Amino acid sequence: MNEPVLDASAVLALLNGETGHERVASVLPAALIGTVNLTEVISKLCERGVPVEAAMQAVDSLGVEVVPYSQAHALRAGALRPLTKLFGLSLGDRACLALGWERQTTVITAERHWDERVEGVAEVPISRIRNTT
């Protein structure tokens, strides 16, 4: 597998020791995270009372490559909006899928609603860390 892209939900599952965190740990440090999803991770940790410096240290400790959000990502994520609106995908979700599409690699997520329909529309392989049942 090429370097997989981590969705914010997968990183948070790992940092919080949630179900499926082992699957995320198994792809480290060869994984990527986009800056939009990094923002989501830092936001969630800060909401839980983690100081911003400690939140960033937690992400840095994973050793993942942080990929800046580019104009190409913006175009792809924007184009995905009408295709994924029915599935309730956020900008962060679409930014993650855009990075996976650009790198032609798997996106790893804890989101259960990212099913084969999302995978087909986004043209990106999706690996869910939790059972969908």
How many angstroms separate the CA atoms of 101 and 21, rounded?
23
| CB atoms inside a 10 Å sphere around CB 1 | 11
3-state secondary structure of 35: helix
Q: Which domains are assigned to the chain? A: 5-128 (3.40.50.1010)
Query: Could you report the per-residue pLDDT of 112-121, keeping only the tens digit for each?
Result: 889 899 999 9
| pLDDT, position 112 | 87
The pTM assigned to this predicted structure is 0.94
At 108, list the tokens: 């790893």
* pLDDT, position 1: 58
Instruction: Give me 116's structure tokens.
Output: 């084969």
The segments of the chain whose pLDDT lies below 50 read none
pLDDT at position 113:
86
pLDDT value for 118: 94
